[in-house]
């Protein structure tokens, strides 16, 4: 939401400005993000498989009726260290 760039001045809008325009308290924004992280964690814990990535977590949230983007799930999982460990061949 605050990562959008102004078309005219090519600067990012700040979270405070976006919340002010939408008449939304910043605490609501942060609480929603926290709840989404918790729901993602619960979806991963309830899964019978281990090391699931953000795509499967997004699908599980979607099945629960929670609408969000894959990129947001990826970002929140990265911040909460919930991403699956992957091996890379070099």
pLDDT at residue number 89: 62
Is 1 a residue whose pLDDT tops 60? no
d(CA 13, CA 5): 6
Is 29 a residue whose pLDDT tops 80? yes
With bands split at pLDDT 50, 70 and 90, how would you rate the model's confidence at 43?
confident
* Overall number of domains in the chain: 1
pTM across the whole model: 0.69
d(CA 43, CA 47): 6
Q: What is the mean pLDDT of residues 44-61?
A: 87
The reply to whether 89 falls in a domain is no
Percentage with pLDDT > 70 across the chain:
86
The reply to whether 62 falls in a domain is yes
- Per the structure, the complete domain to which residue 38 belongs is given by 31-79
The reply to whether 19 falls in a domain is no
Is 85 a residue whose pLDDT tops 90? no
């Amino acid at each position: 939401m605050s990562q959008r760039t102004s078309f005219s001045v090519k600067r990012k809008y700040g979270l405070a400005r976006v919340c002010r325009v939408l008449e939304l308290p910043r605490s609501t924004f942060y609480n929603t993000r926290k709840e989404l992280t918790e729901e993602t964690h619960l979806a991963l814990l309830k899964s019978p498989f281990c090391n699931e990535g953000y795509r499967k977590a997004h699908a599980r949230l979607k099945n629960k009726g929670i609408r969000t983007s894959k990129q947001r799930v990826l970002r929140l999982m990265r911040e909460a260290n919930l991403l699956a460990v992957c091996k890379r061949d070099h």
